């Protein structure tokens, strides 16, 4: 003899309860939101040399960054000498001035090499970024 109560339970088993699934998704969402906010964005750390007589440049520049390890970057992308030459040639066509943003511990020879390459390609305005001394 079947009782009515057992039949109701069998009918209920055909449906899937998604409440625990939703709870787990929300917990994962909260976990990733909290942990992702503490991740540091990688960037290029450059300590600029200090200068008392520097002027503030107001124009749109092509910024060439040279790290303390003498690695050349443009917009956080590492460039070889050949790639840098191509980018500087493009800057010459668009008449953009070049701003060299070199670390104070960068090799002066590397800075001069980038400067000479820009001048050789016809860029007339090459600036070096400095930190305003007080």
| Inter-residue contact 88 to 118 (CB < 8 Å) | yes
Q: Which CATH class is domain 50-132?
A: alpha beta
- % of the chain residues with pLDDT over 90: 7
d(CA 66, CA 68): 7
Q: In the predicted model, what is the mean pLDDT of residues 88-105? A: 85
| Inter-residue contact 66 to 100 (CB < 8 Å) | yes
Query: pLDDT tier at 22 (50, 70, 90 boundaries)?
Result: very high
The model carries a pTM of 0.56
Structure tokens at 4: 């009515």
Summarised one tens digit per residue, pLDDT across range 41-73 is 556 666 666 655 555 655 677 888 888 888 898
pLDDT of residue 28: 93
pLDDT of residue 105: 86
Q: Which residues lie closer than 8 Å to 18 by C-beta, 6 or more apart?
A: none
- Strand 72-74 and strand 131-132: pairing? unpaired
């Amino acid at each position: 003899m079947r009782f009515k109560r057992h039949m109701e339970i069998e009918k209920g088993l055909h449906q899937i309860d998604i409440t625990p699934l939703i709870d787990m998704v929300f917990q994962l969402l909260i976990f990733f939101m909290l942990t992702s906010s503490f991740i540091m964005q990688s960037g290029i750390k450059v300590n600029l040399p200090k200068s008392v007589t520097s002027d503030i440049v107001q124009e749109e520049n092509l910024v060439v960054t040279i790290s303390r390890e003498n690695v050349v970057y443009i917009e956080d992308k590492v460039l070889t000498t050949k790639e840098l030459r191509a980018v500087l040639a493009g800057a010459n066509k668009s008449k953009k001035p070049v701003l060299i943003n070199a670390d104070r511990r960068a090799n002066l020879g590397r800075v001069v090499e980038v400067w000479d390459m820009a001048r050789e390609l016809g860029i007339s305005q090459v600036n070096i970024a400095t930190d305003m001394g007080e």
